[in-house]
Amino acid sequence: MSYNPLTETMSMSMSCFCLKKTRPKTKLGLSTVLASETSFTVNEIEALLCTFKKLSSDDDFLHKEEFHLALFDNGNKQNLFADRVFDMFDIKRDGVISFGEFVRSLSIFHPNASEEKKIEFAFRLFDLTQSGYIEHHELKEMVLATLTESDVTVPDDVVEAIVDRTMLEVDSKGDGKIDNEEWRDYVTKNPSLLKIMTLPYLKLLASETLALILLFFKSVYKILLGWFCLSGI
């Protein structure tokens, strides 16, 4: 049995129609601002606005049920990974995702986004309690969630061995937790992690389809699931 919950699992990892033919000037102004802050062009952001309208029931915000529906065709399904993605996109922590939050968060997965942003996003993904560290119990929780999602049952001692081995590999300071510096060093030595944090087809927004919209969400989910997928079990 060979299982690395940080590397193996990541690999699992729109001509759209807007509801209005002319977008509000505030949206156009926002597009310019977002283009200056992200890796997207103004035209790409306008295409993403169409995407956002397709997924959101009220145009202004994307709710958790809609987010889950895009991922699983079931808005009521509970899933740690989907919840973590939603929480990461919900920058203001107000329980909904605005269009600005949607674009800024999605930009992290853009091929032109900086490695530093991808490293930071991945670290915060695992830092469930936002303590500034990835601790043993957080790593174990994510591993258990992956096993559950994969319908795989593994004895607790095996799960503990997986987590212990991973902590030993990444926690170079030996203090029982992974800090930003240790995480950055680990990712630098394992560049495949950042490669899978990139969604190449985000450059194809000019020829998008509604199917591509859903493909994005499902790809993000697979990236998260990919951090902890099984290999050889």
pLDDT on residue 20: 40
Give pTM, 2 decimals: 0.74
| Average pLDDT of the chain, as a whole number | 76
Residues (pLDDT < 50) of the chain are 1, 7-26, 206-210, 229-233
Sketch the domain layout of the chain as residue ranges.
Answer: 8-226
- Contact present, 62 and 102 (Cβ < 8 Å): yes
pLDDT on residue 187: 86
Q: 31-62, pLDDT tens digit by residue?
A: 899 999 998 888 888 888 888 888 888 778 99
pLDDT on residue 26: 42
Q: May I ask the CATH architecture of the domain 8-226? A: Orthogonal Bundle (1.10)
pLDDT on residue 197: 76
- Interatomic CA distance for residues 47 and 31, integer angstroms: 10
DSSP 19: S
